Structure formats: C-alpha cells, structure tokens
Structure 1
C-alpha cells in the first residue's frame, strides 16, 4: 500500500473515490469529475504504486515510497498548508499542487488584508509573514505583492517536509489537468511562470533547495 489520506497511514487509498470518502462532510463536494481533486486521485491511483509519468519525468525516477492526499504542514504564521499530494520518494519529497482551472487563491497583496474584517491584527501579522518569505528568498517584500500566496506556501511546505524527514531533495510541482488535446495558456500558468521568474527554478528556503516544475496531464 503506497497511497494514503492525510499525514499518517491509518487511511489507505485503494480506489480514487476513497479520497472523497475520507473528506469531511462539508468538503466532499470538492471531489467531482473534471475538477483537480478527482483528476489527481484517478491519475495517482492509475499509476499502480509508481509516480505518474508526468511527475516521474520531472523528478527523474518513477519510484514512489508513499503519497499522501491532503497532507497538512504547519507553515509560517501558524496556518496549515494542505498540500494536495505529498509524495515521498527514495531521495526526497515531492509536493504536488493539482489544478484544472482553479486559481492559486489570492495575490499576496490581497491575502494580507483578507481577514482584516474579522481581526484588525491580521494585516500586520500577515505582513510579517510576507517579510519572512522575502528575507528567505532574498527579495524585498514589495516584489512578492503580485505573486499568488499559495505558491509561496506550497514551496515552504515542501521545504519544511523535506527538512523534517531529512530528505536530501525537494520538489514543488504543479500538476495541471485539461481535456485531451487542449492547449490553453492559462492564468495559472502565467502566475506560475511569474513566480519562477522571480524566485528562480530552484529557490532555497529553510536551507532546503526546492525545485519548481509544471507538468500537464489530460483528464483520465
């Protein structure tokens, strides 16, 4: 057994719909054919204990130790990053963010103020988090304002998970799904390319180099 739901091994995934069945009741609607969660589950289950071909090409091997859907990582600022799939491979970890056309959430400039109506202390707290990212990436915080916060968070989750597990390598890969034959320059791809142009293809964060990649798969 190599596929699991969550960080541990208590919830094995044998069928793609097991991912849906392990979701909390109020989140089960996220699992729908043609949406990223279902397409990723079908793709990874179909790989039969190996990395999917698109991921293996980015990593350089198809060997898989375990992969965990909805993997939680405590990140800077106290929040929890729920990585779509955190895969453990013999020489590292691979954090996978699956997308169809779902966006990478808010721009950093909007994320800072997202909770201000609930908590006036949130913007200063989030500004400090952004400054921490900027310092780690050797940038100034203003350069991060038009970056999608989710890309920063998932990159950090990859680095923290690699460090916690003494893994020598780490990847953060966007696995994009689209109808067979479709060639669409998506907003997500533009956001990802802008992120890579700013931080480089293998930024170092928390003393871990995280290789960034985009791969494409057709709907199963």
Structure 2
C-alpha cells in the first residue's frame, strides 16, 4: 500500500478500498453504514465523542485524521489486518492510535480454535506475536481472532507514530448489541468488566497504554 492518501469527498468514496466492494457495499451492512456515519461527522461521530468522555485519560480527544480500510502488517503470513477505520487522535499533547471495527449483525470472524484449523507454522507465529503484542500470557481458544489482530493494529500503529495511547473501538450499529458478549469475553482478558458506550483502560504494553471501547451507532445510518 502506498503512502499517499486521497481525502474522501463523500461516503461513496470509501467503497473503492474494500476487498470486495460489490459484496460488502450494501445498505444495512457495516462498511456502508460506518462510512456514512463517519463522513457526516466533523471529527469523531457524536457517540464516539460521548464514549471518550467516560475515560479519564482520553476525555476531550480530538481527531487529527482518519483512514478507511487501513491495513497493518502482522508477522506470520501475508494477510494484513484491515481496519475499517484507523484514526489518529490527540489528547492534550499525547497522540492516540485508534483501530475501529465496524459492526451491524456480523460476528467477529472465527474463534481462535476455528482460525487455527488447519494449523500451520505461520499461524502459530502470528498467534504468538499477537499474544505478546497484547501483553497476554495466553489466549483462550474461544476468543474471536478478529479482536486480537484489530487490537494489535492499534498498538502497532501507536508504536509507529510515537503515540502514547492505543484504542481498539468497536463501533456497532446493531440495535440489539449483537456479539457484545464476545467483546466482553475479550475485554475480560485484561481484567475489564466491559460496558456498552464506555471506553475502558486495559493495560500498559511497553510504552503504550491500551484502551478498549464499545460504541453504539445511530439506527438512521442503517438506511443510508
């Protein structure tokens, strides 16, 4: 991926960056829903700004830039972690790397056990790398793999941009909060009792402080 990024004029400009635009760019699907919500906002969407106010550390953060479908390389194979949005924020004098996972009703991909089948040396290298990057001793096989690499993306980009904080944010437009329990199980690995519409501090990993959050998007964007 090149290093020159062209600003989006409308939400429709986001579609070109999808791996399968015809399949995923549909009304009511997460990619299109998320694009319209973020494109309408002047900075962070209002529900994200509200959730950030629940964090003593990230309260008042301003968005500097956002990149749709931002890819982050991870050892153990050629497949990159493709963030629905990656944003760089600033809170006081500190930079914040934000990896956003947009959702409507789709799950967080496979569990670690399902992803490991069939097992390969590359997958084991990647899982070891993700476990270490997240500052964990081990990862239960029932945890959703997507949450691992999306959170690692936030940390890796924080290190690349000299940001002192990393935030993995689920921006869900499911009005029944589908798959929240999977996110909650992941957050529990860091000792967090996760809540809706909140940002929680997870732990310090190296020189980066990790945060996790779940934000509830407005239903109106499901019709856009």
TM-score, normalized by length of structure 2?
A: 0.80
Match of 1:130 among 119, 127, 130: 127
**Aligned-residue CA RMSD (Å):** 2.1
Give how far 1:32 is off: 1.0
Query: What does residue 146 of structure 1 align with?
Result: 142
Is the alpha carbon distance of 1:160 and 1:167 closer, same or farther for their aligned partners in structure 2, counting shifts above 3 Å? same
Give how far 1:207 is off: 4.3
Is the alpha carbon distance of 1:54 and 1:27 closer, same or farther for their aligned partners in structure 2, counting shifts above 3 Å? same
SS across alignment from 1:54: helix
Are 1:109 and 2:109 counterparts? Answer: no
- Could you list the structure 1 runs, at least 4 aligned residues long, displaced by more than 3 angstroms after superposition: 6-10, 21-24, 131-136, 203-207
TM-score, normalized by length of structure 1?
A: 0.81
Query: What does residue 65 of structure 1 align with?
Result: 64
Structure 2 spans left out of the alignment, 5+ residues? 53-58, 193-201
Query: What does residue 87 of structure 2 align with?
Result: 87
Distance 1:69 1:7 in 2: 14
Give how far 1:204 is off: 4.1
Partner deviation per Cα, 1:99-121 (whole Å, 9 max, x = no partner) = 001111110011011xx3xxxxx
Structure 1 spans left out of the alignment, 5+ residues? 1-5, 117-121
Distance 2:206 2:21 in 1: 32
Partner deviation per Cα, 1:129-187 (whole Å, 9 max, x = no partner) = 323434453323xx421100110000100000010000111100000003xxx4x252x
Contact 1:74 1:81 (C-alpha < 8 Å) held by counterparts: yes
Distance 2:159 2:22 in 1: 31
Q: Which moved more, 1:32-41 or 1:53-62?
A: 53-62
